[in-house]
Amino acid sequence: AAGVIQSPRHLIKEKRETATLKCYPIPRHDTVYWYQQGPGQDPQFLISFYEKMQSDKGSIPDRFSAQQFSDYHSELNMSSLELGDSALYFCASSASGTSGGTQETQYFGPGTRLLVL
Amino acid sequence: AQSVTQLDSQVPVFEEAPVELRCNYSSSVSVYLFWYVQYPNQGLQLLLKYLSGSTLVKGINGFEAEFNKSQTSFHLRKPSVHISDTAEYFCAAQFSGGYNKLIFGAGTRLAVHP
């Protein structure tokens, strides 16, 4: 079965550079979520999109922005990178239920490991 | 405040022994609960989930969990572990009105020894 695809899998950047992470959801999934997992930490919710509109926002720095495109893939843009941005960034996708409620199991991609030097 | 607490940061266990990983949540609204497993340098894999219905849910790899509303718990169990079960286990919750985002616990490192 098709899974969530993330690219690149690994990324090394210098401080103050920019980075773009891409996420391709499972086919027919209309919702995308981004999470950040620091070293030894639990994943923290950053932002989510449903049908190309931002649906929720978590602890995402103002230096970061994201969007979901017409083909449902999503990109997380990170500017003015800091050492503390080094983390594993996960994308997850889900398919909205007929109720539009919360019964939407999220399936995670393999993550993008970002290292800021 | 809505939160998820995993009471044990590390659980060492011998191969073929039973194991229980504890998870409690705090919420005044309805909640859906999940367990994910993360193998070293890999992503998060869904083990099992509780949405409604039977409070005992079975997942992959022989794991099961029981939802206990009165104790606000969702402990994960396996009757006999294998070396290959060594991984980080995360309990997560979706709270009603939370726009479906997952709130994770801090994780429990299960270390299975021969």
Mean pLDDT of the residues in chain B: 92
Residues A71-104: tens digit of each pLDDT: 999 999 999 999 999 999 999 999 876 444 445 7
Write down the H helix ranges in chain A: none
pLDDT in the model for residue A37 = 93
Q: How confident is the model at residue A32 (pLDDT cuts 50, 70, 90)?
A: very high
Nearest CA in chain B to A104: B100
Query: Sorting pLDDT into bands at 50, 70 and 90, what band is A31?
Result: very high
Rounded CA gap, B45 and B92, in Å?
Answer: 12
**pLDDT over 80 at B24, yes or no:** yes
Distance from CA of B79 to the nearest CA of A (A): 26
Contacts of A102 in chain B (CB under 8 A): 32, 94, 96, 98, 100
The beta-strand segments (E) located in chain A are: 5-7, 10-13, 19-24, 31-37, 44-50, 53-57, 64-68, 74-78, 87-94, 107-108, 112-116
For residue A12, the cross-strand partners are: A115
Q: How many CB pairs under 8 A join A and B?
A: 60
Our CA-based measurement puts residue A24 at a distance from the nearest CA of chain B, in whole angstroms, of 15
- Whether residue B114 is predicted with pLDDT greater than 60 in this model: the reply is yes
The nearest CA of chain B is from the CA of A23 a distance in Å of 14
